[in-house]
Amino acid sequence: MRKIMFVGRSESGKTTLTQAMKGKKIIYHKTQYVNHYDVIIDTPGEYAETKRLGGSLAVYGAESDVIGLLISATEPFSLYPPNCTSQSNREDIISYLKEEHETLPWETVKAQYDKLEYGSNASDEDMNINGVVV
């Protein structure tokens, strides 16, 4: 299953969409920190609005397969560049996230590295995985 991260200004509906996708009752809840669920990463709006916190979005974005850019329908301006207009509904997003996808190369390398049992008596030759020295 793919992982999605929601990004947007405060009160753009990130947490509400998260609750809806999880099938929970919709309750207003101000997100104070990054909430990392099984397949959903819900970020506070301040991370998108504040330059100093924006780097955190890049870190969490590296853990995601999909970045969901949300904007309120009543928003007077957009944080996003022009022509960023794709849209989908909740069922489309859930279906897409459930589709099978390929394993990222770094996940393959990590799996091989974990098999070596770090700290064991592995030789230097064993520590060279597909040209990547670990």
- Res 65: pLDDT: 85
Q: In whole angstroms, what is the distance from residue 41 CA to residue 39 CA?
A: 7
- Res 81: pLDDT: 79
Q: What is the mean pLDDT of the chain?
A: 77
Amino acid at 89: N
- Closest C-alpha among 85, 42, 32 to residue 63: 42
pLDDT-derived band at 21 (thresholds 50, 70, 90) equals confident
pLDDT top residue among 79 and 106? 79
- Res 134: pLDDT: 44
Work out the angle at residue 44's Cα, subtended by the Cα atoms of residues 85 and 63, and round it to the nearest 5 degrees.
75
Token pair belonging to 46: 């301040």
Does residue 114 register a pLDDT over 50? yes
Q: In whole angstroms, what is the distance from residue 30 CA to residue 44 CA?
A: 8
Token pair belonging to 24: 């929970």
**Could you give all domains of the chain from N- to C-terminal order, each with its CATH number?**
4-98 (3.40.50.300), 102-134 (no CATH)
- Specify the residue for token string 């207009």: 85
Over range 47-65, report the average pLDDT: 85
DSSP 71-125: --TT-SS-SSPTT------HHHHHHHHHS--PPPHHHHHHHHHHHT-TTS---TT
